[in-house]
Amino acid sequence: MLELLEQLFRQVRAYTQAERYDRKQIYSKSDIHTTMQFDRDAEDLIINGLTESGIGFEIITEERPTFSTSENPPYRIVIDPIDGSTNVERGIMTAAVALAVLPIDAPVTPENVHWALVGELFSGTVYEAQKGGGAFRNGRRCQISNVSNIRDCVAGLNLDGRQKESLRNLLTDSPRLGFVRRCGSSAIDSVYVASGTYDAYIDIADDITGESFLASASIVLEAGGIVTDQHGAPLRPITSLSDKFSLIIAGHKKLHQDLINRINK
């Protein structure tokens, strides 16, 4: 299965480097959502590959209603064809393909993902995991961070319209959060915790949707990290890609709890 996911990622990456690729072209636009042509094209490439595989999937994706490639598919796949679309449209070279595969009868949670891949479109870096088999970055086993103190923490932090009071607590209370980063792709920001690139990732205010974090969160869990909502509770099952979530992801248990305490002060 991971080989198939890697093939799909490579196809999308090749497309984004081809001459016909236009990062400014709009496929559709409404009052609440804009779909870029590259999002639609990438999604089509992935769906065609899944269909041609003959395996059988229920496909849950950002840009169209849920459907199946066969009558009784054994698997469900959650797709984010390009996470970081605003980055791509603006020419910022950070975006990802995120793919998560589960048994068809399993609730859609990170713990139930059997195969996951997050691929960085421009660098080609691949994070992947198989349930019970560990997490890997470019074929090398991931190692989560052992940083336990907020003052030493390098954290990915989503600031986009999030809760002002909680962000103020996080950024100004003592000891202050050591270092803050944000790449513009939640899939990448989340999965960086798996490899110890970030010590934590913080996304509060119940605004992130499942396609952006499901694959990454499952890879973090396989690496030995911790994934909860902003109150420290396990993530509830994803029932649709309109469901909104908060995330606190960390490598170390003490750091994770300290971040929750600070956010909910």
Indicate whether 101 and 170 sit together in one domain. no
Whether 170 contacts 262, CB under 8 Å? yes
| Whether residue 193 sits in one domain with residue 83 | no
CATH at 214? 3.40.190.80
Q: For residues 194 and 132, state if they share a domain.
A: no
Q: How confident is the model at residue 35 (pLDDT cuts 50, 70, 90)?
A: confident
Global confidence as pTM: 0.94
Residues 134 and 159 in one domain: no
Task: Indicate whether 80 and 207 sit together in one domain.
Answer: no
pLDDT digits (tens, 9 = 90+) for 59-99: 999 878 999 999 999 999 999 999 998 898 888 889 999 99
Q: Which domain holds residue 216?
A: 150-263
3-state secondary structure 50-117: HHHHCCCEEEEECCEEEEECCCCCCEEEEEEEEECHHHHHHCCCCCEEEEEEEECCCCCCHHHCCEEE
Q: Is the pLDDT of residue 175 over 90?
A: no
- Identify whether residues 105 and 65 lie together within a single domain: yes
pLDDT score for 36: 73
Structure-token pair, residue 150? 């907020």
For the chain, the first-to-last Cα distance in angstroms comes to 43
CA distances from 17 to 46, 50, 88, 93, 123 (A): 16, 22, 12, 12, 12
Same domain, 129 and 99: yes
User: What is the tally of structural domains in the chain?
Assistant: 2
Residue 117 and residue 162 share a domain: no
Q: How far apart are CA 247 and CA 50, in angstroms?
A: 29
pLDDT band at residue 17, thresholds of 50, 70 and 90?
A: confident
| In a shared domain, residues 74 and 161 | no
Residue-averaged pLDDT of the chain: 92
Residue ending a domain, choose from 108, 141, 174? 141
Instruction: Verify that 231 and 113 share a domain, yes or no.
Output: no
pLDDT for residue 162 is more than 80: no
Q: Enter the tokens of residue 221.
A: 């869990």
Residue where the block lists tokens 């595969």: 101
Residues 86, 23: one domain? yes
- Please check the confidence at residue 139 and state whether its pLDDT lies above 80: yes
Task: Specify whether 44 is located in the same domain as 111.
Answer: yes
d(CA 70, CA 45) in angstroms, rounded, equals 18
| CATH number of the domain that residue 19 is part of | 3.30.540.10
